[in-house]
Chains A and B, each alone.
Chain A
Amino acid sequence: MTLKSDPAVEIEDSSSPAVVAPSVPVPGAPSDLELMLAIQAEDPEALSQLYDRYNGILKALILRVIHNETEADDLLQEIFMEIWNQAKNFSAQKGKPLGWMVTLARRRAIDGLRKKQAYARAEERLQSETEQQPEAWVNNATQEEIAFGDTRVLVREVISRLPPAQQEAVDLAFFRGLSQREIAAHTNTPLGTVKPRLELGLKKIYDGLKELKDEL
């Protein structure tokens, strides 16, 4: 299979030098599924293109979990290596390539966090980062992103509409891998309150995504 190049475009953004442009495949570029099939056939160029397309998203996800730039880079490399090694386990019937990669990256990031027993350190860093800047996932969209017309802007909208308590519960469950009991302890909330918050928050996000899907 010959694959057209699909380089990720980097934006010069003086306010945030570590931000890259949303990864949207250029017209005529291979789809994610085509790239996965090519990776299954052991084509390194396909992995190279998939990396260009999604390294920014996966790095952001890893960073959100482990809050350490160098460790996030190392883990990103390991995750793409795992994508290469595990590509044969991907099945299009079970979901989209990005979903599969995110699931894999999240699991590895949370495992890494647990292995290093870095909860306390990460918590401190998270605390100071929260004081210095707003939560990444409730940021307003930049003009570049709006102009890009990316669905991520809409996804952020859906999430940012959640009440803060639901947002926090979902955030701790997804990005920190905390159980309901751990969330209850972390937020000083009765255990019986945590599950409804998670249920409601996730339902709203899920329903919002369905609406988006119908609109697109």
Chain B
Amino acid sequence: MSFEEFQNDARLYVIGALEQEETEEFENARKEFGQKGEEYIGECYALHEAFALSLRPAKASADIKSRLMAMVQERKKS
């Protein structure tokens, strides 16, 4: 697999869109490309952030935060 093919697959990999046999091939290539490959995969995760930012923020129910913070305080105590 060339690095260009690896880059194409990396973008699919981070969103879980590779089929099983493609994932195996990709994992093998990942080992071959080492650090360079890992850095590229890391960059591809920026896609996740971009997809989330592309959405219009939605408003959460008002009591979610108070429930969350109560759970956190409870967890801290235990």
Q: Which residues of A contact B (CB under 8 A)?
A: 10, 16-23, 42, 44, 47-48, 51-52, 55-61, 63-64, 72-73, 76-77, 80-81, 84-85, 94-96, 98-99, 102-103, 105-106, 136-137, 139, 151-152, 155-156, 158-159, 170, 173-175, 177, 179-181, 195, 198-199, 202-203, 205-206, 209
Contacts and interface: CB of A to CB of B under 8 A. Distances in A.
A89 to B, nearest CB: 14
B1 interface: no
Contacts of B54: 137, 152, 155-156, 159
Contact of B50 (A55, A58, A84, A155): A155
Interface string B59-78: 11100110111011101100
B11 A95 contact: no
B70 to A, nearest CB: 10
A49 to B, nearest CB: 11
Contacts of B73: 44
A173 B42 contact: no
28 contacts: A19-B57, A20-B58, A44-B72, A47-B72, A56-B59, A56-B60, A58-B52, A59-B57, A61-B55, A72-B58, A77-B64, A77-B68, A81-B71, A95-B45, A103-B45, A106-B48, A139-B56, A155-B50, A155-B54, A173-B16, A174-B47, A195-B12, A199-B8, A199-B11, A202-B12, A203-B11, A206-B46, A206-B47
Nearest to A73: B61
Contacts of A51: 65, 68
A181 B15 contact: no
B12 A199 contact: yes
Interface of B: 8, 11-12, 15-19, 42, 44-61, 64-65, 67-69, 71-73, 75-76
A64 B53 CA distance: 12
A173 B8 contact: no
A113 B63 CA distance: 23
B56 A99 contact: no
A179 B60 contact: no
B51 to A, nearest CB: 5
A152 B57 CA distance: 10
A59 B64 CA distance: 11
A17 B56 CA distance: 12
A205 B54 CA distance: 11
Given A44-B72, A179-B19, A10 B59 contact: yes
